Amino acid sequence: MEFHPKDLSIAKTYDLKSEKEAIGAVEDMVNLGFKGKKEGYKVLMPKESKLAKRIGYTVTTGITTGLRQKKEDRDIKYWTYHHDDEHYAIVLIHRDVLTELGF
């Protein structure tokens, strides 16, 4: 079976245009949590390479830091891919859920 991150169930999608919006999205994802959910989260970023890299870095490191501060499991798997002509996307999901879903 061929796997692509777009095939995963998504609880919430964040369409981010700046690093400041990324910080708010990270706080929201950490508060909503990852463990025990049957879905992941999707972050859409503009296809401007420099901005996308900064947003992606903010999201991935922010999730890890936020979960560590809450003393929650940080075993999060993520993929970055070309979503469409205008966006890159990151899909984040807990590794246990990924296993349960058969991926």
The domain locations on the chain are 7-100
Confidence class for position 101, pLDDT limits 50, 70, 90: confident
Dump the DSSP string for 64-79: HHHHHHTT----EEEE
User: Would you say the C-alpha torsion 66, 7, 96, 31 has a positive or negative sign?
Assistant: positive
Which pLDDT does position 6 carry in this prediction?
Answer: 81
Tell which CATH classification among 3.10.450.50, 3.40.190.10, 3.40.630.30, 3.40.50.150 matches the domain 7-100: 3.40.50.150
Q: How many CB atoms lie within 10 A of CB 95?
A: 14
Q: Is the pTM of this model over 0.75?
A: yes
pLDDT tens per residue across span 54-77 = 999 999 999 999 999 999 999 999
Alpha carbons 90 and 101: distance in angstroms, whole number: 19
Pairing of strands 10-15, 40-46: parallel
Inter-residue contact 87 to 94 (CB < 8 Å) = no
